[in-house]
Amino acid sequence: MKLYGALEAGGTKMVLAVFREDGELLEKESVPTRTPAETMPQMAAWFRERQVAALGIGCFGPLDLNPASPAYGYITATPKLAWRNYPLLPAFRDALGIPAALDTDVNGAALAEARLGAARGLESCVYFTVGTGIGGGLIIHGRPVHGLVHPEIGHIAVRPAENDPMPGGVCPYHGCCLEGMASGPAIEKRWGISAKELPPDHPAWDLEADYLAQACAAAMFSFSPEKIIMGGGVMQQKFLFPLIRQKTVALLKGYIDHPAVAAGLCDYIVEPALGTESGIRGAFLLARAAISE
């Protein structure tokens, strides 16, 4: 029986898992994300001990995903300085000697939701994760989108609200981009309290829904996905979904004429069907594809 390794590589923790070929999760463990010199040997040993036949990696970015590039499989201009320009995919291939594949963590999550979750049976979807950062994965014609690099939907520009007490944003690169205005750190800096401690009637949430609705409308205008899926820590506040749908419909201003819009986007902007496992299951799908290729 072949076993498949899956890695969801995050800036705070690395989630390692082993799956059977049929998708049954056998084992999962988390280790802190320290420096590559500390973390990589620990992860390689973990997968080696479990004799996995292939490894799939969903990782924070930016990444070089161009197979023709000399830096293919590298983490590139990440703000996580210890990992900047680190050859993540080559390092795992060298350490394990097995097929391995890499994509962004959000592309991996989007792939899992497209194949196994909320967008199953559809050809396209966008997956947003809203937490410590904001990322967006894009599936078109059933495949993750790559191009010049890969989608960086979390850094699209948004229009600051007139009543925003922090109109400049927290992104060190772009200021008032989506991540700079709507991520968990942006919420905490704006209001002086973490998102998980804010009550549902706090004005923070109306503002948050405004920025996330701008992102949803931009995705609809730009990519016309058949489903928008929103996960991550901030989206655990379930009351955000009706607010985002309402504000997205208002931003569309009747321009997109479709029954999904007429129905208030209730079945269009949705939670991940896979819950918190979208990312790690996406990594499993990458591993399965790597061995078949």
What's the fold here for domain 118-271? Nucleotidyltransferase; domain 5 (3.30.420)
Q: Which residues pair with 292 in a beta bridge?
A: none
What pLDDT is attached to residue 175? 87
26: CB partners within 8 A, 6+ apart: 3, 17, 18, 19, 20
Q: What is the pTM of this model?
A: 0.95
> For residue 114, with 0-12 CB atoms within 10 Å meaning exposed, 13-18 middle and 19 or more buried, which class applies?
buried
Q: How far is CA 43 from the centre of its chain?
A: 21
Give the right CATH number for 3-105+276-292 from 3.30.300.30, 3.30.420.40, 3.40.50.9100, 3.30.460.80.
3.30.420.40
* Rounded Cα–Cα distance for residues 89 and 101 (Å): 7
- Cβ atoms within 10 Å, residue 66: 15
HEC assignment per residue over 174-214: CECEHHHHHCHHHHHHHHCCCHHHCCCCCHHHHHHHHHHHH
What pLDDT is attached to residue 145? 93
Q: What is the mean pLDDT of each run of 10 residues along the chain (293 residues)?
A: 94 94 96 95 98 97 94 91 95 97 96 98 97 94 90 93 93 92 97 94 97 98 97 96 98 96 97 97 97 80
What pLDDT is attached to residue 79? 79
- Cβ atoms within 10 Å, residue 185: 16
- Domain 3-105+276-292 and domain 118-271, same fold? Reply is yes
* Rounded Cα–Cα distance for residues 60 and 82 (Å): 13
Q: For the packed helices 36-49 and 88-96, what is the interaxial angle rounded to 10 degrees? A: 40
* Rounded Cα–Cα distance for residues 30 and 16 (Å): 6
Q: Which residues pair with 54 in a beta bridge?
A: 4
Q: What is the DSSP string of 29-54?
A: EEEE---HHHHHHHHHHHHHHTT-SE
What pLDDT is attached to residue 71? 96
Residue ranges per structural domain of the chain: 3-105+276-292, 118-271
- Helices (runs of H) and strands (runs of E) counted in the chain: 9, 10
Reading the block at residue 124, the tokens are 């396209």
Beta strands in the chain (DSSP E): 3-9, 13-20, 25-32, 54-59, 100-104, 125-130, 134-140, 143-144, 228-231, 269-270
Reading the block at residue 73, the tokens are 């499989």
- Please answer whether residues 57 and 102 qualify as being in contact, where contact means their C-beta atoms are separated by less than 8 angstroms: yes
